[in-house]
Amino acid sequence: MMNLPKTPSFKLQGKRALVTGAGRGIGLASAVALAEAGAHVTLTARSQNEIESAAQTIRKQGWLADAITLDVTDLNQVEQFIEHSDPFDILISSAGGARHSAALEVSEQDFDFTFSLNTKSAFFVAQCVSKKLIQHNLPGSLITISSQMGHVGGPNRAIYCASKHAVEGFTKAMSKELGAHHIRINTLCPTFIKTPMTEPALQNADFKAFVEDMIALRRVGEIEDIMGPVVFLASDASALITGSALMVDGGWTAY
């Protein structure tokens, strides 16, 4: 009888996952998806009430979750937290922000804010999680929520695009170093997703029409659209994928 190949598991039982920026939007959706797949999820954000409420609601579903208030731009705080925690098998680095303006009007303050949150904090959280995994000789999957704008340009988004292009760069470079330790690192790159952060811009009818015209599927994304891809990258189903970007952009970057 023929021996058929077996599909690798999408299940995450026994895994510990850290999700930054987990209070709302993509971070919260990622935490829910991982918890539903069986992982014990630690939600972090600066907004204590949001993450505690989210963790409590996740636990009411019978899943495993806790909440830790954490400012990822405070690198000493990040280092101390991870040093005194058990290793995290999975990282979803979702904390991020945007201050959009024309390139000729970008201020140094907005530049520093964007790179500190989107790039610097994502790099050092990944570094800290990786060090702990290596210390315990454990494999892992590190996922940074990047953006389609890490692969293209966009009007009034010079510093945001730059910060996300930098994320794509360090992800490729780190994959070369972490691979020997069986630690994978990838990015997940959404298009415009309906979240509290994008809601004000999408209320502008002209801007929403521009976005929908750029997306081949002709619709703005929902947070549910990223939940399956998150589980895929976190699980054994993507065991040979590292240093890559998973586009969840409805075809935006296909043009």
Q: Which residues are catalytic?
A: 160
Distance CA 100, CA 155 (A): 9
Helices first, then strands: H and E counts in the chain: 9, 7
* Token pair recorded at residue 169: 């760069």
The radius of gyration of the chain's CA atoms, rounded to the nearest angstrom, is: 18
Task: Write phi, then psi, for 162 (nearest 5 degrees).
Answer: -60, -45
* Token pair recorded at residue 57: 């609601």
First to last CA, the chain: 47
Distance CA 8, CA 219 (A): 31
In this structure, is the dihedral angle defined by the CA atoms of residues 114, 115, 120 and 125, taken in order, positive or negative?
Answer: positive
Among the listed residues 127, 121, 140, 248, the one whose alpha carbon sits nearest the alpha carbon of residue 187: 248
Distance CA 125, CA 106 (A): 27
Would you say 41 and 15 are in contact if contact means Cβ atoms under 8 Å apart?
no
